[in-house]
Copies of this chain bind each other. A is one copy, B any other.
Protein backbone atom coordinates (compact mmCIF):
# COMPACT_ATOMS: atom_id res chain seq x y z
CA UNK A 1 0.00 0.00 0.00
CA UNK A 2 1.31 3.45 -0.85
CA UNK A 3 1.25 6.36 1.54
CA UNK A 4 -1.61 8.88 1.48
CA UNK A 5 -1.37 11.82 -0.83
CA UNK A 6 -0.72 15.03 1.07
CA UNK A 7 -3.32 17.77 0.71
CA UNK A 8 -1.21 20.89 0.45
CA UNK A 9 -3.26 23.56 2.21
CA UNK A 10 -0.43 26.06 2.04
CA UNK A 11 -0.26 25.93 -1.75
CA UNK A 12 -4.05 25.90 -2.08
CA UNK A 13 -4.35 28.92 0.23
CA UNK A 14 -1.77 30.79 -1.84
CA UNK A 15 -3.78 30.13 -5.02
CA UNK A 16 -6.99 31.16 -3.26
CA UNK A 17 -5.43 34.44 -2.13
CA UNK A 18 -4.26 35.01 -5.69
CA UNK A 19 -7.79 34.39 -7.00
CA UNK A 20 -9.19 36.81 -4.42
CA UNK A 21 -6.58 39.36 -5.52
CA UNK A 22 -7.64 39.01 -9.16
CA UNK A 23 -11.29 39.49 -8.26
CA UNK A 24 -10.45 42.51 -6.10
CA UNK A 25 -8.58 44.08 -9.02
CA UNK A 26 -11.55 43.43 -11.29
CA UNK A 27 -13.98 44.94 -8.74
CA UNK A 28 -11.84 48.08 -8.60
CA UNK A 29 -11.80 48.40 -12.38
CA UNK A 30 -15.40 47.47 -13.07
CA UNK A 31 -17.23 48.87 -10.07
CA UNK A 32 -14.81 51.29 -8.41
CA UNK A 33 -15.11 49.19 -5.28
CA UNK A 34 -12.23 48.31 -2.95
CA UNK A 35 -13.17 45.73 -0.30
CA UNK A 36 -12.10 46.73 3.20
CA UNK A 37 -11.50 44.59 6.27
CA UNK A 38 -11.42 46.03 9.80
CA UNK A 39 -9.70 44.00 12.49
CA UNK A 40 -10.13 44.90 16.15
CA UNK A 41 -7.59 43.74 18.72
CA UNK A 42 -8.18 44.34 22.42
CA UNK A 43 -5.19 43.86 24.71
CA UNK A 44 -1.71 42.46 24.29
CA UNK A 45 -2.11 38.70 23.79
CA UNK A 46 1.05 37.76 21.82
CA UNK A 47 -0.61 35.06 19.69
CA UNK A 48 -3.46 37.42 18.80
CA UNK A 49 -0.94 40.08 17.80
CA UNK A 50 0.69 37.66 15.38
CA UNK A 51 -2.67 36.68 13.86
CA UNK A 52 -3.75 40.29 13.46
CA UNK A 53 -0.45 41.25 11.84
CA UNK A 54 -0.74 38.36 9.37
CA UNK A 55 -4.33 39.21 8.56
CA UNK A 56 -3.45 42.85 7.89
CA UNK A 57 -0.49 41.89 5.70
CA UNK A 58 -2.47 39.40 3.58
CA UNK A 59 -5.41 41.82 3.28
CA UNK A 60 -3.12 44.46 1.76
CA UNK A 61 -1.43 41.88 -0.51
CA UNK A 62 -4.85 40.98 -1.92
CA UNK A 63 -5.36 44.64 -2.84
CA UNK A 64 -7.96 45.31 -0.14
CA UNK A 65 -8.02 48.05 2.43
CA UNK A 66 -6.98 47.03 5.93
CA UNK A 67 -8.14 48.92 9.01
CA UNK A 68 -6.53 47.92 12.29
CA UNK A 69 -7.94 49.06 15.63
CA UNK A 70 -5.85 48.29 18.70
CA UNK A 71 -7.50 48.93 22.04
CA UNK A 72 -6.03 48.63 25.52
CA UNK A 73 -6.59 45.63 27.77
CA UNK A 74 -8.79 47.82 30.01
CA UNK A 75 -11.25 48.73 27.23
CA UNK A 76 -14.85 48.66 28.46
CA UNK A 77 -17.67 46.78 26.78
CA UNK A 78 -19.32 50.09 25.92
CA UNK A 79 -16.21 51.44 24.21
CA UNK A 80 -15.85 48.28 22.16
CA UNK A 81 -19.54 48.27 21.17
CA UNK A 82 -19.22 51.93 20.15
CA UNK A 83 -16.32 51.04 17.87
CA UNK A 84 -18.26 48.15 16.33
CA UNK A 85 -21.23 50.45 15.66
CA UNK A 86 -18.90 52.96 13.98
CA UNK A 87 -17.46 50.21 11.77
CA UNK A 88 -20.99 48.93 10.99
CA UNK A 89 -21.83 52.41 9.68
CA UNK A 90 -18.59 52.90 7.71
CA UNK A 91 -19.21 52.27 3.98
CA UNK A 92 -15.51 51.55 3.36
CA UNK A 93 -15.60 48.65 5.80
CA UNK A 94 -17.12 45.47 4.31
CA UNK A 95 -15.80 43.00 6.87
CA UNK A 96 -15.36 43.32 10.63
CA UNK A 97 -13.36 40.87 12.71
CA UNK A 98 -13.01 41.21 16.47
CA UNK A 99 -10.05 39.07 17.48
CA UNK A 100 -10.85 36.54 20.20
CA UNK A 101 -10.30 35.95 23.07
CA UNK A 102 -11.49 39.23 24.59
CA UNK A 103 -10.60 40.42 28.13
CA UNK A 104 -12.92 39.07 30.79
CA UNK A 105 -14.76 42.35 31.48
CA UNK A 106 -16.24 42.05 27.98
CA UNK A 107 -19.20 39.85 26.99
CA UNK A 108 -17.91 38.29 23.76
CA UNK A 109 -21.32 37.05 22.58
CA UNK A 110 -22.81 40.53 22.91
CA UNK A 111 -19.93 42.00 20.88
CA UNK A 112 -20.16 39.38 18.12
CA UNK A 113 -23.94 39.84 17.85
CA UNK A 114 -23.51 43.62 17.54
CA UNK A 115 -21.52 43.23 14.32
CA UNK A 116 -23.70 43.83 11.25
CA UNK A 117 -24.36 40.25 10.03
CA UNK A 118 -23.60 41.33 6.46
CA UNK A 119 -20.10 42.39 7.64
CA UNK A 120 -19.58 39.39 9.93
CA UNK A 121 -16.69 37.82 7.99
CA UNK A 122 -15.88 35.47 10.89
CA UNK A 123 -19.38 34.00 10.54
CA UNK A 124 -19.91 33.96 14.31
CA UNK A 125 -23.08 36.11 14.43
CA UNK A 126 -26.17 34.21 15.54
CA UNK A 127 -27.94 35.20 12.31
CA UNK A 128 -25.17 33.69 10.19
CA UNK A 129 -25.27 30.53 12.33
CA UNK A 130 -29.04 30.40 11.78
CA UNK A 131 -28.76 31.01 8.05
CA UNK A 132 -26.19 28.24 7.76
CA UNK A 133 -28.33 25.90 9.89
CA UNK A 134 -31.36 26.48 7.66
CA UNK A 135 -29.56 26.21 4.33
CA UNK A 136 -29.65 29.91 3.42
CA UNK A 137 -26.77 32.04 2.09
CA UNK A 138 -24.57 32.85 5.05
CA UNK A 139 -21.14 34.15 5.87
CA UNK A 140 -19.55 30.90 6.99
CA UNK A 141 -16.80 30.59 9.65
CA UNK A 142 -13.40 30.57 7.95
CA UNK A 143 -11.89 27.32 9.22
CA UNK A 144 -14.83 25.06 8.24
CA UNK A 145 -15.06 26.90 4.92
CA UNK A 146 -11.38 26.11 4.35
CA UNK A 147 -11.99 22.43 5.15
CA UNK A 148 -14.87 22.33 2.67
CA UNK A 149 -12.85 23.97 -0.10
CA UNK A 150 -10.02 21.46 0.29
CA UNK A 151 -12.45 18.53 0.36
CA UNK A 152 -14.28 19.70 -2.75
CA UNK A 153 -11.02 20.29 -4.56
CA UNK A 154 -9.69 16.89 -3.60
CA UNK A 155 -12.83 14.76 -3.95
CA UNK A 156 -15.17 16.67 -6.26
CA UNK A 157 -18.81 15.84 -5.55
CA UNK A 158 -19.18 14.92 -1.87
CA UNK A 159 -22.74 13.60 -2.13
CA UNK A 160 -23.32 10.34 -0.28
CA UNK A 161 -19.91 10.29 1.39
CA UNK A 162 -19.89 9.26 5.04
CA UNK A 163 -18.38 12.19 6.92
CA UNK A 164 -17.47 11.96 10.60
CA UNK A 165 -16.67 15.23 12.36
CA UNK A 166 -14.94 14.75 15.71
CA UNK A 167 -15.56 17.86 17.82
CA UNK A 168 -18.68 19.96 18.31
CA UNK A 169 -17.42 23.51 18.76
CA UNK A 170 -19.44 26.45 17.44
CA UNK A 171 -16.51 27.65 15.34
CA UNK A 172 -15.45 24.40 13.64
CA UNK A 173 -17.30 21.14 14.31
CA UNK A 174 -20.90 22.27 14.21
CA UNK A 175 -20.70 24.62 11.21
CA UNK A 176 -18.61 22.10 9.29
CA UNK A 177 -21.25 19.43 9.93
CA UNK A 178 -23.85 21.83 8.45
CA UNK A 179 -21.68 22.47 5.39
CA UNK A 180 -21.12 18.75 4.78
CA UNK A 181 -24.83 18.09 5.18
CA UNK A 182 -25.42 20.82 2.60
CA UNK A 183 -23.14 18.82 0.28
CA UNK A 184 -25.37 15.76 0.89
CA UNK A 185 -22.86 13.83 2.95
CA UNK A 186 -24.20 11.46 5.59
CA UNK A 187 -22.83 13.31 8.60
CA UNK A 188 -21.97 12.02 12.07
CA UNK A 189 -20.89 14.38 14.84
CA UNK A 190 -18.78 12.65 17.46
CA UNK A 191 -17.25 14.15 20.60
CA UNK A 192 -15.86 13.46 24.05
CA UNK A 193 -19.02 11.61 25.13
CA UNK A 194 -19.03 9.31 22.11
CA UNK A 195 -18.84 5.70 23.30
CA UNK A 196 -16.56 4.02 20.77
CA UNK A 197 -14.78 6.85 19.02
CA UNK A 198 -12.30 4.64 17.10
CA UNK A 199 -15.19 2.63 15.64
CA UNK A 200 -17.05 5.81 14.63
CA UNK A 201 -13.93 7.11 12.92
CA UNK A 202 -13.36 3.83 11.06
CA UNK A 203 -16.77 4.35 9.44
CA UNK A 204 -15.70 7.59 7.80
CA UNK A 205 -14.97 8.20 4.13
CA UNK A 206 -14.18 11.75 5.26
CA UNK A 207 -12.75 12.10 8.75
CA UNK A 208 -12.37 15.54 10.32
CA UNK A 209 -10.57 15.94 13.64
CA UNK A 210 -11.25 19.22 15.45
CA UNK A 211 -10.79 18.58 19.14
CA UNK A 212 -7.48 20.17 20.16
CA UNK A 213 -5.85 17.00 21.51
CA UNK A 214 -2.41 16.22 20.08
CA UNK A 215 -2.22 13.02 17.99
CA UNK A 216 -5.47 11.67 19.42
CA UNK A 217 -6.61 9.99 16.18
CA UNK A 218 -4.49 6.89 15.59
CA UNK A 219 -3.74 5.06 12.38
CA UNK A 220 -6.06 2.17 13.19
CA UNK A 221 -8.97 4.60 13.64
CA UNK A 222 -8.87 5.35 9.92
CA UNK A 223 -10.63 3.47 7.15
CA UNK A 224 -8.09 2.57 4.46
CA UNK A 225 -8.30 5.15 1.70
CA UNK A 226 -10.25 7.71 3.71
CA UNK A 227 -9.68 11.45 3.36
CA UNK A 228 -8.45 12.91 6.66
CA UNK A 229 -8.74 16.60 7.53
CA UNK A 230 -6.76 17.59 10.61
CA UNK A 231 -7.94 20.89 12.10
CA UNK A 232 -5.90 20.60 15.28
CA UNK A 233 -2.96 22.94 15.88
CA UNK A 234 -1.33 21.85 19.13
CA UNK A 235 1.99 23.09 20.43
CA UNK A 236 3.95 20.28 22.07
CA UNK A 237 7.47 19.88 23.41
CA UNK A 238 9.88 18.72 20.77
CA UNK A 239 13.56 17.86 20.81
CA UNK A 240 16.08 19.93 22.77
CA UNK A 241 13.39 21.83 24.64
CA UNK A 242 11.97 23.38 21.47
CA UNK A 243 8.24 23.32 20.79
CA UNK A 244 6.65 22.17 17.59
CA UNK A 245 3.14 21.99 16.12
CA UNK A 246 1.21 18.74 15.79
CA UNK A 247 -2.35 18.05 14.76
CA UNK A 248 -5.16 16.06 16.35
CA UNK A 249 -4.18 13.14 14.10
CA UNK A 250 -1.11 10.97 14.56
CA UNK A 251 0.23 11.88 11.12
CA UNK A 252 3.01 9.27 10.90
CA UNK A 253 0.52 6.47 11.52
CA UNK A 254 -2.37 7.97 9.56
CA UNK A 255 -0.38 8.66 6.40
CA UNK A 256 0.12 4.90 5.98
CA UNK A 257 -3.63 4.20 6.01
CA UNK A 258 -5.47 7.23 4.65
CA UNK A 259 -6.02 7.97 0.98
CA UNK A 260 -5.26 11.65 1.50
CA UNK A 261 -4.44 13.78 4.53
CA UNK A 262 -3.77 17.38 5.48
CA UNK A 263 -0.47 17.92 7.31
CA UNK A 264 0.09 20.13 10.37
CA UNK A 265 1.45 22.69 9.81
CA UNK A 266 0.67 23.49 6.18
CA UNK A 267 -2.82 21.98 5.95
CA UNK A 268 -5.93 23.72 7.27
CA UNK A 269 -4.02 26.47 9.12
CA UNK A 270 -3.14 28.60 6.08
CA UNK A 271 -6.68 28.24 4.71
CA UNK A 272 -8.24 30.23 7.55
CA UNK A 273 -6.90 33.67 6.64
CA UNK A 274 -7.36 32.96 2.91
CA UNK A 275 -11.04 32.22 3.61
CA UNK A 276 -11.29 35.41 5.67
CA UNK A 277 -10.22 37.33 2.59
CA UNK A 278 -12.69 35.36 0.48
CA UNK A 279 -15.48 36.21 2.95
CA UNK A 280 -14.52 39.89 2.86
CA UNK A 281 -14.71 39.85 -0.94
CA UNK A 282 -18.10 38.11 -0.75
CA UNK A 283 -19.40 40.65 1.78
CA UNK A 284 -18.21 43.58 -0.36
CA UNK A 285 -19.92 42.22 -3.47
CA UNK A 286 -23.19 41.57 -1.63
CA UNK A 287 -23.09 45.06 -0.08
CA UNK A 288 -23.08 46.48 -3.62
CA UNK A 289 -25.70 44.05 -4.90
CA UNK A 290 -23.11 42.35 -7.12
CA UNK A 291 -22.90 38.55 -7.45
CA UNK A 292 -20.13 37.11 -5.27
CA UNK A 293 -17.48 35.41 -7.46
CA UNK A 294 -17.19 31.64 -7.39
CA UNK A 295 -13.85 31.01 -5.69
CA UNK A 296 -13.82 27.24 -6.23
CA UNK A 297 -10.39 26.30 -7.52
Contacts and interface: CB of A to CB of B under 8 A. Distances in A.
Interface of A: 109, 125-136, 159-160, 162, 168, 170, 174, 177-178, 181, 184, 186-191, 193-195, 200
A207 to B, nearest CB: 14
A129 B175 CA distance: 13
A142 B129 CA distance: 20
In the A-B complex, the 5 residue pairs with the closest CB atoms: A130-B130, A126-B130, A129-B130, A184-B193, A133-B133
Given A135-B170, A186-B195, 11 more contacts: A126-B131, A126-B134, A128-B130, A129-B134, A133-B174, A159-B193, A160-B194, A168-B181, A186-B191, A186-B200, A187-B189
Majority DSSP secondary structure for residues of A touching B: mixed
A112 to B, nearest CB: 10
A3 to B, nearest CB: 27
A293 B38 CA distance: 43
Contact of A130 (B133, B160, B184): B133
Contacts of A193: 159-160, 184, 186
Nearest to A194: B186
A184 B195 CA distance: 10
